[in-house]
Every structure is written in C-alpha cells, then in structure tokens.
Amino acid sequence: MSSIIEVKDLNLWYGAHHALHSVNIDIPEHEITALIGPSGCGKSTFLKTLDRMNDLVQGVKIKGTVAYRGQDIYAPGVDVTWLRKQIGMVFQKPNPFPMSIYDNVAYGPRTHGIRSRAKLDEIVENSLRSAAIWDEVKDRLKKSALGLSGGQQQRLCIARALAVEPEILLMDESTSALDPISTSKIEDLAVELKSKYTVIMVTHNMQQAARVSDNTAFFLLGDLVEYGKTEVLFSTPTDKRTEDYITGRFG
C-alpha cells in the first residue's frame, strides 16, 4: 500500500513549548490511521500540521517536512486553500453553519466556483449519501441544519467536508460529543469511506481505534512512541509505554 502522507523529522513549538519531537510517520492511502495517547500528548497538534491549521496559531514554529503525494506542504508557494480542498477536517463538536442543510453542503463547492444548480444538486445528494444521512434529510434540505440532532449534524459536517472531493479526511475526536448509536454510525461510515478516501482520526477511545483503524500511532508527551498495524500494536506492543497505556496503567 503506498503512502499518501510522509512526515519526516517534524518538530513543532508553541512559543517555547516543544509540542512535537522529531515525528516520522508514513500514512498509507485508503486506510484508517488512528492517533491515540493521553491528553496533551500532541495528537491534535500533529493532525493539524497535516492541513496547516497550526499556521493560524501565533508564535508557532514548525521544522521538518510533511509531504502530501510527494510535495512538501510547507514549501514556499503552496496554496493553502488548495491544500485544504485535498485534506478536509471534521472537528470534535459538530459545527454546521447557521444555514440550510443544502447550503451547508453546497458552501465549499460554491466557494470553488461551482454555480450550476444541477451540478450543486448532484454534489449535495452524493455527499449526503456518502455521509449516510441522505435518507434522513432529503425531505428537509431547505430547513436549518441547526435543527438536526448532534449525530446528524456531525454526519452533515462529514458531507460538507466530502463535497469538495478531498483525498484525505482528518477527524479530530469526531465522535466524542456523540451518543453511542451516533458514534457507531460514524465508525461504520469511516470504514465505508476508506475505499474512496484516506482517514486519519484522533481518538481518546482505544476501543474505537481497535475497532475501526488499520494503523495506530501512539503519542506520549510530544513523541511518537510506536506506530504500526492496529492489531499488532494492541496485541504485542514493542514499547513498554505503549503496553502501559493500552492496558490502562496510565492515561
């Protein structure tokens, strides 16, 4: 399986705080990679380096390379709007825009210049179908997205991310604010999506990582301690710190 992201010697500082220490990791295409580790270990920071969301943080310094399909995304001249079209993000709390369900999904494609009503209708339907929410919303597309349940809102946010046809979907604890049924729907969805997309998810929930991911990366205090196939990392971890974490001895 080829790598879609290759990270080499990635270091990140927030001011004087050294939050990521020389991280090296290759992310395979069309698989689900989970990032696990205790609170504050750098999972979200690492995830955000992949679509340059940390650029917005004042005082941040980043060294090393993050290559997406062989291209360093931190090289001068990289168009961050283009990058975020390739690499979409779904956040911890559902954050639909205060507009209709239809307009939430059409927002990105419109921003990228698509005006044809028929084309937008097609994108909206396909994206909502891919996010497994079409049947629940097809009769209320013009209604406010804020009237949906939390789980529906999160699937709508996934549809919104898919509408611009990214290659990679980043999910930052995207089920932690949801009930178990909605969580299970999003886990099933992530597994379905990997035939078309590459999914990278931060999760606090080790059962979730074990259930849905193909690869798992364990972070601790800014270090990538161990990375490998999920079933191997959970059954025969090579590092004592990984073993302690997955057996619940700390974190």
Ligand X SMILES: Nc1ncnc2c1ncn2[C@@H]1O[C@H](COP(=O)(O)OP(=O)(O)OP(=O)(O)O)[C@@H](O)[C@H]1O
Interface ranges with ligand X (CB under 6 A) = 14, 17, 19, 37, 39-45, 57, 204
In the complex, the smallest distance separating the C-beta of residue 150 from ligand X, rounded to whole angstroms, is: 19
Residue 152: how many CA atoms within 13 Å on its side-chain side?
A: 16
Q: Give the integer Cα–Cα distance in Å for 74 and 87.
A: 14
DSSP structural state of residue 115: -
Q: Which is nearer to ligand X, 40 or 150 (CB)?
A: 40
H/E stretch holding 113 reads none
In the complex, the smallest distance separating the C-beta of residue 79 from ligand X, rounded to whole angstroms, is: 24
Nearest to 178 by CA among 186, 170, 189, 188: 186
In the complex, the smallest distance separating the C-beta of residue 114 from ligand X, rounded to whole angstroms, is: 34
Strands (E), 79-230: 87-90, 168-172, 198-202, 215-220, 223-229
Q: Which is nearer to ligand X, 20 or 106 (CB)?
A: 20
Q: Which is nearer to ligand X, 129 or 204 (CB)?
A: 204
Q: Which is nearer to ligand X, 152 or 183 (CB)?
A: 183
Q: Which two tokens stand for residue 83?
A: 């990058």
Other CB atoms closer than 10 Å to residue 120's CB: what's the count? 18
In the complex, the smallest distance separating the C-beta of residue 40 from ligand X, rounded to whole angstroms, is: 4
Q: Which is nearer to ligand X, 105 or 201 (CB)?
A: 201
In the complex, the smallest distance separating the C-beta of residue 202 from ligand X, rounded to whole angstroms, is: 6
Q: Give the integer Cα–Cα distance in Å for 183 and 175.
A: 5
Paired with 153 in beta bridges are none
